[in-house]
Structure 1
């Protein structure tokens, strides 16, 4: 089962999420949030913005990736880096398919 893991960074004290696939690989990560409640709201935004047009694929410095953006244009998730565009596209498809029903695991 896919899941969002919510955790608090010891480096900066902010809350983050990782969206992990059933095989425990990180598909997408969130920006830092000042509170757990805000991080959970960020996850809700990720779940509500799982339409193909909400993803911005890119290629930079020899690596492929994508950002997920909310309707206001704010980045709400960033992918891991990929060596091939097909792998990046598979990552986008995985977020679209898995995020809306992913469980939330509170590690904070």
Structure 2
């Protein structure tokens, strides 16, 4: 299965997307967008910025898990990685997004969650 973006609609009517790796695991989650077209623009921004190492920032959440965010040129967060027990997992997550995002297909489907 190829890497892909899936657009979903939340109960509040807003849209968000996930980037799924070849194995179907979520490797990046977006913020909420007011419209489906805005979410698609967010996907393009992820694809544009994913290969630039300077666009990633690694952080630690309240549970002590390491994670990363991907930022656009304007420093706005455009995607958040999953939580990992160690920095090695974060590095692998960033590599996976860098590799998969630019060529990932977009599934033009809406799954209401």
TM above 0.5? yes
Pairwise CA distance, 1:19: 0.2
Q: How does 1:95-106 map to 2 (within 5 A)?
A: 95-106=97-108
Structure 1: runs of 5 or more not aligned: none
Q: How does 1:1-108 map to 2 (within 5 A)?
A: 1-10=2-11, 12-50=12-50, 51-61=52-62, 62-108=64-110
Q: How large is the Cα RMSD of the aligned pairs?
A: 0.8
Whole-angstrom distance in 2 between the partners of 1:9 and 1:75: 19
Whole-angstrom distance in 1 between the partners of 2:77 and 2:34: 16
Instruction: Kindly report structure 1 stretches of 4+ aligned residues shifted beyond 2 Å.
Output: none
Whole-angstrom distance in 2 between the partners of 1:79 and 1:55: 10
TM (norm. structure 2) is 0.92
TM (norm. structure 1) is 0.96
Whole-angstrom distance in 1 between the partners of 2:27 and 2:38: 20
Q: How many residues align?
A: 107
Structure 2: runs of 5 or more not aligned: none
